[in-house]
Structure 1
Amino acid sequence: MIREYYDVELHVENIGVIVARLYRFHSPLTLSRLVSKLPLSSIMYNAGNKFLYILCDLGIGREGRIPHTKVKEGQLAYWPLRKYIVIALQEMTLTPSCNVLGEIIEGKELLRNIPGSVRVTVRLR
């Protein structure tokens, strides 16, 4: 059975747990590739309080006929150009395009506490 969404936990070292809901309809191939790599241990970086990113090479490019470039605050997206999973701390543009994945549903207040870099483990909830 194909699930319409997945809830994932981001266990951020010395910060806490952030929960995101990732929707299949946004980017089904990207989501399938990401879920197949879970649990994922990596480093989360803070890019000047504009966005957070996790290094993760999913080996996939832009998905869909219409390129997405806008990411809203609290949304997650995969940025194929940089091989990042991005969490937007404010509305932003990722060029040339990104694959939107979902949004933060719990622990959004913890996002601003992320230092320059920190260990993170992403796993299914």
Structure 2
Amino acid sequence: RLAGGATPQQLGIAWRSRAATEDIFENLRESMYEDAPYQIEELATLRGPERFLAETMIVLRLQKRDERVPDALVKLGAAWTVPALEELTTSPTMSPALQTKLTDAARALAATVSLN
């Protein structure tokens, strides 16, 4: 695929220094206290344990009822979060609007699992 014109970044094989990864996590930590959407493009470059950690950090924002979380998880394709999202859809601690977003996200992510 590389010979076909795909970039190393698109294939997930580009080398990244530890400092670059640390910058991504620092940006994620900072974005948790803003209203702007999470930087999905940057987070999507993470792989393995780093990716899981980033997705977990986002999921934990549901403790603060962060309404950006469902959209971010769908964009990241974090299908492993479906059981938690489904459980939270009926949580009385979540607003009706957030419950709806969680339901939609759980359905979208579950659909990606059934397609694979």
The structure carrying a bigger strand percent of its residues is 1
The structure carrying a bigger helix percent of its residues is 2
